[in-house]
Amino acid sequence: MDKLLSIFRPSTGSRELRRQPLFTGMSWLVLLFLYAPIAVLVVFSFNDNRSVVRWTEFSLRWYAAALENDDIRRSAMISIQVAFTATVFSTIIATMAALATTRGGVYRGRSAAIALINQPLMIPEIVTAIATLAFFSILRQLTGVTGIGWLILAHTVFCVPFAYMPIRARLSDMSVTYEAAAADLYATPWQTFRHVTLPLLMPGVMAGAMLAFVVSLDDVIITLLVAGPGETTLPIYILGQIRRGVTPEVNAISTILIGLTVAMVTLTFFLQRKRK
Amino acid sequence: MGVAANISQPDAATRLRAAQEERARQRRRTRLLLLAPALGIIGIFGLFPLSIALVYSFLEPGTYGGVEWVFSYDAYVQFLFERDIFDDTLAFNSAYLQIFGRSFGLAITTMIGTLILGFPVAYFIAARPPEQRNFWLFAITLPFWTNLLIRTYSMLLIVRDEGFVNLMLMKIGLISEPLEMLYTDGAVLAGLVYSYLPFMILPIYASLEKFDFSLLEAGHDLFATRTQVFRHIIIPITRPGIVAGCVLVLIPALGAYITPELLGGGKKLMIGNLIALQFGSGRNWPFGAAAALILMAIVLIALLVSLRAGASKEGGHG
């Protein structure tokens, strides 16, 4: 019967249906498209030549030059200071919010709360940037407070949803039975959180913190508009350099940044996979 | 106190209810305390500033940036008309409309481009055995987390006159003079597709992840051709993913700043650059705020349309 039917069937065998041969080739091409430009950048950062075009010899001179550059060192320190502080605050805030949206039961306004937390993701960054600038310029005038705190505050706001996602995912995958058991044994809510929920949640918290750190470290548009004088972060410095012209030094510092991001995201990826 | 010693049945029920209510109240209080910082910080410093931008768009620009607190809807008039400095008459000026038109065209083309490139990849990943899927997903997500500025810069290195593409083409002998690719709409488009491709792939993949591919064989057994199977099974299943992907690409592409700045060379302005310019050397904050709000309105319309597109034809799910 099966053989009889196959006469009427279109030519391809049924097992082959899920495979679209054209798609396989395209997928590899897309992968090439995604990685080739970055690969060129990384390779030429090790080139011992001022031109970023012709390969001469392997060298680390641009890394040495980048690390000795005072402007780069200063902006790297500012970047780390902002990213670290924003990460700590946004992760704490996101963890609390994740607890309230997964452990608080079902209640009215929960989906509205989740939507508000994700709000920074739904608005074009340039709009957030100018709105924040406008608001901060009023606050700066009213309070007379200046300094890097404003930049850190702006970063904290857009880091919250990124930290929130993996923490919430982890929490909703975690069974509540351990917490219920702790409560049955007369643990106070704080004790339950401190000794049961938090240790189990830790991989999610770490993943959230790392994503927040990466997102803060990479930000250009909001920082460009909100940062005051002398608050140049590393991406802003790089942008300024690119505007002036292509230099191998920028390749070197970019490669370092890419390496840092790849390391952190890879770690996050494995932290999240562990739960399965 | 003595009365409480001999509790009657209804009393116990009341006390139980009171205890339950007390606990519910406590839970509500904890919940609120936990939510307060997130909702507070995002509400005050994420959502509220948008209304400040709205107010700013109805004020007059200050001489050195900032605003003068004088009501004016000049910012919106300026969008379409140019005011003559001598006799104060208005003349139609399409320069800003053109920038919005270009942004819209580029964003829509980017959306279509990422869909054409992204759909096959999403399908391909979903059809892989599970252990290979993780590798592909990781490979597709990784560029998304890498600095957008640096990725755009790497694109710039590739498409420059003396860049990688021209070098290769000249080596093969396909061209003798370098093609001028940088600072064209094509370069901006390539950069935008490059930047936002993962946003298209991931939601389409998510909609196919749990798909039972034996359904294809069922369709096939019922004498459907490959094209028919695709049209009547795959497309309806992936519809929510496609809609989500389109929105996720369209929103950032519309507001793109870095890509047109670096690859368009400041000549091919998009809305994002126009807005940033007004808050920088343009020193016209009200106009920048107005442009930002118009952009927001377009984004909201796109979101509403997508909600509709995602909701209708839900019957397509098997």
For the stretch B272-287, pLDDT in tens is: 999 999 998 888 899 9
Chain-chain contact of B139 with A31 (C-beta, under 8 angstroms): yes
Which superfamily does A69-273 belong to? MetI-like (1.10.3720.10)
- CB–CB contacts below 8 A, A to B: 267
Which pLDDT value is given to residue A274?
Answer: 60
Stronger pLDDT, B57 or A119, i.e. the higher one: B57
**A5 at B interface, C-beta within 8 A:** yes
Q: Show residues of chain A in contact with B107, CB under 8 Å.
A: none
* Beta carbons within 10 angstroms of residue A257's beta carbon: 22
Stronger pLDDT, B18 or B90, i.e. the higher one: B18
* Cβ within 8 Å of residue A260, ≥6 positions away: A217
Give start-end residues of each CATH 1.10.3720.10 domain in chain A. Answer: 69-273
Q: Show residues of chain A in contact with B270, CB under 8 Å.
A: none
ipTM: 0.84
Q: Show residues of chain A in contact with B99, CB under 8 Å.
A: none
Could you tell me the two tokens for B112? 């279509």
pLDDT tens per residue across span A206-250: 989 998 999 999 899 999 999 988 899 999 999 999 888 877 888
Chain-chain contact of A158 with B46 (C-beta, under 8 angstroms): yes
pLDDT tens per residue across span B61-111: 887 777 888 888 888 888 888 877 777 778 888 888 889 999 999 999 999
Identity of the residue in B34, B45, B123 whose CB atom sits nearest the CB atom of A132: B45
Could you tell me the two tokens for B158? 């590739």
Residues pairing with B211 in the sheet = none
Percentage of the residues of chain B whose pLDDT score is greater than 70: 94
pLDDT tens per residue across span B31-59: 889 999 999 999 999 899 999 999 999 99
Average pLDDT over residues A58-63: 86
pLDDT at A156 over 60: yes
Gap from B72 CA to chain A (nearest CA, Å)? 17
pLDDT at B263 over 80: yes
Chain-chain contact of B257 with A242 (C-beta, under 8 angstroms): no
Gap from A124 CA to chain B (nearest CA, Å)? 5
Which pLDDT value is given to residue B308?
Answer: 83
| Helix segments in A103-187, DSSP class H | 110-117, 119-122, 125-143, 149-173, 177-184
Identity of the residue in B46, B121, B142 whose CB atom sits nearest the CB atom of A26: B121
Chain-chain contact of A124 with B120 (C-beta, under 8 angstroms): no
Which pLDDT value is given to residue A14?
Answer: 43
**A38 at B interface, C-beta within 8 A:** yes
pLDDT tens per residue across span A9-32: 444 444 555 667 788 889 999 999
List Cα–Cα distances, A239 to A37, A82, A93, in angstroms. Answer: 17, 18, 31
Percentage of the residues of chain B whose pLDDT score is greater than 90: 31
Average pLDDT over residues A130-140: 92
B245 closest CA partner among B148, B310, B316:
B310
pLDDT tens per residue across span A192-206: 888 888 998 998 899
Chain-chain contact of B147 with A261 (C-beta, under 8 angstroms): yes
**A63 at B interface, C-beta within 8 A:** no
B196 closest CA partner among B126, B127, B309, B108:
B108
Chain-chain contact of B52 with A130 (C-beta, under 8 angstroms): no
> Rounded to an integer, what distance in angstroms lies between the CA atom of residue A100 and that of residue A197?
13
> Rounded to an integer, what distance in angstroms lies between the CA atom of residue B175 and that of residue B189?
22
Asked if residue B317 lies in contact with residue A146, where contact means CB atoms within 8 angstroms, the answer is: no
- Rounded to the nearest angstrom, the gap between the alpha carbon of residue B61 and the centroid of all alpha carbons in its chain is 30
Which pLDDT value is given to residue A134?
Answer: 92
Q: Residue B278: closest CA among chain A residues belongs to which residue?
A: A130
Which pLDDT value is given to residue B5?
Answer: 52
* Cβ within 8 Å of residue B141, ≥6 positions away: A265, A269, B198, B202
